[in-house]
RNA sequence: GGCCCCGUAGUUCAAUGGAUAGAACGGCCCUCUCCUAAAGGGCAGAUAUGGGUUCGAUUCCCGUCGGGGCUACCA
């Protein structure tokens, strides 16, 4: 059990005594880490909240509660300000918990008591288009949510819902037959396909007669033409190979690659079913789902205000020409996941602009009586220097492979400067770990909802609040352990006294609180901030408290602090899919 | 027009309604005969604007200004 939950229980007991009947039945006092260490380790504002309801003086209530709490083995409570109850944890208590952590593989992170079957839908690039920086957010955040959920005991299914059935195939098919450079296809398949697509796209703009020809190719594909199907399959195959290459470099993998095309056969019956149930109806030739009036107009994803009136914005699930859309596929995909995977939670890691789309999808499920923890884990846009979103349609953005290459190159350069004597093979490996780590950490340390401006130097920075900073603290620990004789022996007791030791102990003990809360709100930046703080505390400790030169209990304690710091850093960064090198 | 997101140091980002708003980069000043200086210690510097709710507001509510997104047959 974490320290704040223990404190919360103690506090509840004291509040019950103090307030008796006046305490609300299901009240659980919040105990949170203090923002400023001058106010102790943890604080609660429960007295201020309750005093209002009970109509008493908050400071008086807090004083009464603090008297009841008294001093425990764990902490001393004190009152401050308008009625804060501050808890100061005793170093000996931290020490005691740490000896337990030394033999705990989970380092204090409890398994969830409500395991879910969770499908995470992320990355989802399009076939025949290379991944660009815009795919970074979904890919990295989705992967991390999967790792976190698994670690916490959920059954996780990751699914790459690739765009393999879009209208772009009309142009690609025509281009494949008329323009494709077979040599280029050998060398860099995705680039070759992209080039074809771009060329055809340009040609269509010049020559209006071409577009219908491309559309005809698409229709042929969709009606099962063998030649076109064969080409289409090849496009998917080469794209997948290219994508795998990038995912491998990033250390990311998927349980399934169920693209849009996997749901083709389900679309027509789905629309028929929605029509039969009266959830969808025809309008202007298309089949649409309209508002059922469940929500207030301003919260209704099927309504928009126009000229002072609420006008319908239906979800179209079948076009007037009979074609199906994004929404149709997503509904069919959701059905598949709930039925075949028995998913009770489905999280979509998709950009914020699609918020309305998902609100509609989830609302249609509500109308159909399908329930579950369906979430749109949205994130902000990556902007160009002009503060406008990168244009993905025109294709002139930075490719993900270029970002990776540049990151590794930059890391390699620093390694060459700092550790020129390292074997070449290790240099290459460390450059990979540092470079990729830098990219991932730059993404994960940001609030996922914020837009950010793409900047090479920021994304690939190797100093400051970055992965290499954390990796370096790990490296420093490993370096210490290389210098002691024999393996690390966990001592039975620890004695922490120095401020730097206490602070490090405080943060190590907090790991078990941070990991679950990071998943609760799908906010990797909480864990990133914690890990950075831990690394920072370690670097300070490292400067202030010599380990190898100390003796006896002090040395044992410091070695244990080093060991636990390293374990937390390694495991925490592992949850981010970032590797920690032993040397750098 | 309506709905959603956003506006914090020179720059890029943090902050479940909490106390003196944190970092990083950049700038200035210190620390390597000492476990990896990819480090540590210090200085300067910010909540767009006007109201409201609250013991307390960067956070919640209303208005103004500014940026972005969405707003029926693309994904």
Report strand pairing: A155-159 vs A117-121. parallel
Contact A193, A182 (CB under 8 A): no
- Strand B within 7 A of A325 CB: yes
Report strand pairing: A382-383 vs A452-453. parallel
Cα separation of A527 and A573, whole Å? 9
For residue A392, what pLDDT is reported?
A: 46
Name the strands in the sheet holding A315-318, side by side, starting at the edge strand that comes first in the sequence.
A280-283, A286-289, A315-318
Per-residue CB contacts under 7 A with strand B, chain A residues 181-240: none
Contact A15, A25 (CB under 8 A): no
Per-residue CB contacts under 7 A with strand B, chain A residues 349-378: 352-357
Nucleotide minimizing C1' to CA distance for residue A410: B38
- Strand B within 7 A of A389 CB: yes
Percentages (nearest 5) of helix, strand, coil residues in chain A: 55, 10, 30
Nucleotides of B under 7 A from a protein CB: 1-6, 12-20, 22-26, 34-41, 55-56, 67-75
- Strand B within 7 A of A548 CB: yes
For residue A405, what pLDDT is reported?
A: 96
Contact A202, A196 (CB under 8 A): no
Helix (H, G, I), strand (E, B) or coil at A373: strand
For residue A396, what pLDDT is reported?
A: 63
For residue A394, what pLDDT is reported?
A: 44
Contact A271, A287 (CB under 8 A): yes
Cα separation of A470 and A445, whole Å? 12
- Strand B within 7 A of A451 CB: yes
Place of tokens 């920072």: A536
Nucleotide minimizing C1' to CA distance for residue A320: B73
For residue A462, what pLDDT is reported?
A: 94
Is the whole model's pTM more than 0.90, yes or no?
yes
Please, which contacts does A408-413 make with residues 24 or more away whose CB atoms are closer than 8 Å? A408/A432, A408/A435, A408/A436, A409/A435, A410/A435, A410/A460, A410/A462, A411/A435, A411/A438, A411/A462, A411/A468
Running along chain A, 584 residues long, what does each successive block of 10 average in pLDDT? Answer: 94 92 86 92 93 84 93 94 93 97 97 96 92 91 97 98 90 91 86 89 86 89 92 94 95 97 96 96 95 86 82 93 93 97 96 93 95 93 75 64 95 95 96 96 92 86 95 97 91 95 97 95 94 97 96 96 98 98 96
Length, in residues, of chain A: 584
Side-chain half-sphere CA neighbours of A211 within 13 A: 7
Q: Which helix (H) or strand (E) holds A375?
A: strand A373-377
- Strand B within 7 A of A419 CB: yes
């Amino acid at each position: 059990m974490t320290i704040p939950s223990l404190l919360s229980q103690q506090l509840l007991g004291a509040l019950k005594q103090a307030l008796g009947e006046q305490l609300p039945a299901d009240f659980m006092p919040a105990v949170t880490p203090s923002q400023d260490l001058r106010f102790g380790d943890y604080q609660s504002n429960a007295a201020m909240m309750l005093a209002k309801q009970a109509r008493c003086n908050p400071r008086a209530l807090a004083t009464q509660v603090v008297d009841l709490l008294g001093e425990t083995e764990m902490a001393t409570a004190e009152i401050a300000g308008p009625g804060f109850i501050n808890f100061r944890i005793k170093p000996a208590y931290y020490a005691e918990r740490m000896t337990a952590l030394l033999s705990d593989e989970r380092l204090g992170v409890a398994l969830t008591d409500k395991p879910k079957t969770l499908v995470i839908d992320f990355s989802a690039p399009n076939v025949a288009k290379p991944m660009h920086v815009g795919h970074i957010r979904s890919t990295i955040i989705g992967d991390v949510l999967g790792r976190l959920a698994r670690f916490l005991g959920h059954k996780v299914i990751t699914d790459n819902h690739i765009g393999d059935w879009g209208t772009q195939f009309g142009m690609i098919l025509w281009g494949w037959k008329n323009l494709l450079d077979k040599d280029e296809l050998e060398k860099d398949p995705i680039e070759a396909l992209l080039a074809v697509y771009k060329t055809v796209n340009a040609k269509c703009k010049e020559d209006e007669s071409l577009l219908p020809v491309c559309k005809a190719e698409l229709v042929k594909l969709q009606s099962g033409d063998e030649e076109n199907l064969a080409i289409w399959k090849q496009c998917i195959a080469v794209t997948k190979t290219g994508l795998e290459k990038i995912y491998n470099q990033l250390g990311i993998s998927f349980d399934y690659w169920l693209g849009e095309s996997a749901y083709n056969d389900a679309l027509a019956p789905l629309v028929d079913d929605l029509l039969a149930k009266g959830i969808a109806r025809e309008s202007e030739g298309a089949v649409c789902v309209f508002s059922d009036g469940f929500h207030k107009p301003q919260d209704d994803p099927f309504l928009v205000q126009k000229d002072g009136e609420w006008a319908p914005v239906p979800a179209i699930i079948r076009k007037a020409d009979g074609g199906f859309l994004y929404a149709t596929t997503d509904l069919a995909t959701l059905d598949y996941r709930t039925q075949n995977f028995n998913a009770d939670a489905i999280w979509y890691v998709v950009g914020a602009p699609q918020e309305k789309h998902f609100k509609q999808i989830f609302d249609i499920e509500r109308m159909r009586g399908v329930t579950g923890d369906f979430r749109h884990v949205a994130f902000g846009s990556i902007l160009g220097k002009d503060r406008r979103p990168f244009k993905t349609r025109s294709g002139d953005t930075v490719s993900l492979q270029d970002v990776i290459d540049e990151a590794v190159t930059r890391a390699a350069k620093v390694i060459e400067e700092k550790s020129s004597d390292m074997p070449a093979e290790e240099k290459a490996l460390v450059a990979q770990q540092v470079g990729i780590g830098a990219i991932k950490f730059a993404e994960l340390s940001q609030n996922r909802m914020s837009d950010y401006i793409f900047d090479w130097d920021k994304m690939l920075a190797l100093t400051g609040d970055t992965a290499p900073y954390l990796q370096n603290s790990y490296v420093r620990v490993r370096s210490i352990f290389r210098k002691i004789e024999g393996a690390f022996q966990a001592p039975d007791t620890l004695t922490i006294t120095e401020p730097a030791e206490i602070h490090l102990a405080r943060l190590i003990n907090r790991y078990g609180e941070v990991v679950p809360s990071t998943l609760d709100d799908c906010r990797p930046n909480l864990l990133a901030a914690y890990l950075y703080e831990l690394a920072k505390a370690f670097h300070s400790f490292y400067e202030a408290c010599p380990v190898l030169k100390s003796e006896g209990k002090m040395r044992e304690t410091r070695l244990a602090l080093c060991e636990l710091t390293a374990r937390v850093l390694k495991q925490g960064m592992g949850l981010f899919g970032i590797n920690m090198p032993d040397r750098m």
